[in-house]
Chain A
Amino acid sequence: MTNTSTASTPVIEQDARTKQRPMSKRRLVLRRFIRNVPADIGVVIFTLLVLLAVFGPYISPWEYDELDFMSLTEPPSAEHWLGTDVAGADMFALAVRGLGKSLMIGVIASLGTSVIAAIVGTSIAYFRGWVERVGMWLIDMLLAIPSFLLLAMIVSAFGSGANGWLALTFALMIFGWFGYARVLRSMTLSLREREYVQAAKYMGVPSAKVITRHLIPNLGSILIIQFVLGVVVSVLAETGLSFLGFGIQPPDTSLGVLIQEGSGTLLTAPWMLLVPMALLVALTFSMTLIGDGLRDALDPTSQSGGKA
């Protein structure tokens, strides 16, 4: 067969291409992302927050559940860097612990919703027919249920104890994916008509493999954005629930719990509110910036493109 290929192999074609090979997609996206200054700021803030949550407990002289009865409601000082709360716990240790917890919940819940939404959304679009009809009907029903009440009930039933936060994360995951699944299903509608999907089908590739190999990776950019913005949504949901007493249960803590406790002493001990507040704002703000930056970088029609 070698003679065939020499007969029709365009030698020049090879050379011509190597010379003018276009920039790879990944590099192009990275370049566009880096050029976006707000997104870079977001990355820096987020990295600092993660570092703080991971290494904070090691540099803090106090444990978060260690009470210093000698200093109750003390303002920031050399001993307690960010002051103490009413019970004498160190604010820095508490804030670091709360930030870590909130981050964990946010990331895990968002990851979970993205995975569930991706699998459900692509599957109901790929299988078509009655699967799609029943699936869409179910999602529309689920969207209409009062998820907040159910969330609160689950947390009050299972939310106590050391692993209470897992119940909350799980609940956020279970009630968070419907809307995303609906969006991903409509994205898959055009993807499922692509010829490479048909080609795989006609090759005899099993449906589960078509979904994980061809459909989900090609929704990648949307999934990334969804995940990043999902972290913001989950963190806000967690803080909201904790603030109302349905979230993380003491003695464990989170940003929401700290804000709730601090809100009572805004005038007498403002540091108790301002510290967790600042961390929460920094966290959601940085994630939003990153999410926006990713969307602009991945969207070929956006205005963040270069000027020649």
Chain B
Amino acid sequence: MKTKKLQLVLMAILIAIPTLIFAQAELTGLQIIVNVYNRETGNDMQGDLTMSLINSRSAQRVREIKQFIKDFSGMEKKIMFFVSPADVRNTSFMNWSYDEAGKDDDQWIYLPALKKVKRISSDSKSDYFMGSDFTYDDLGDRHPTVDTHKILREEMVDGESCYVVESTPKDEEYMYSRTVSWIIKDKWIGLKKEFYDEDEELLKTLTVKKHEKISGYWTILSSEMHNVQKDHTTKMQLTNVKLDTGISAAKFTERMMKRGL
């Protein structure tokens, strides 16, 4: 789902060379994360997203969203339409995120009650996405070079053989002091991830509940993010997933936002 930049291709080659030479050599932490980053996920995707937000008193809010995502050159475009709750039906949200480092996403929202498309912006990628426990950054793909990676160990999780990789951001101001990921060997898909806050304390745990091969791509269908400090949980479930159907580029426009479902 990422347009590879030349730089990354070069890097992949550089990484591949020693791998080819010393076929027996162990993978480095960076190589594993690069493999995850480069995993093929198709050029476009559509599906029904059910987002359940559960607070510490077990109160639950459920949102049903229809989403379309497509890769463009240098950017990824995403459009989402709310199906329920009824009072926000047809509210739509469009996000263009750029590969260029440091460039903020462009975001639009269409409020049917106001009949207007509005630009919105938020300060940073560390903002939480729609009141969930996912930040924009958690949802996107983080470039492997902004962190330093270290293999901690290998272990079995849910019958899958995993690498356990610790990633520490080079930017000390980043919202997490470090993350630990469980990456399934060969599939290059994360099964679990722990996020540690600025004080080195466990903040959130991401668990992938279900992943399947759809149209030849490993796709995450169900995941759960638990903020252990606030005891708040977000469940994301994807159904009716279709990949590489050739969604028209015209889908990602203000006009389509207004048209609704």
**Genuine A/B complex:** no
Residues of A within 8 A of B (CB): none
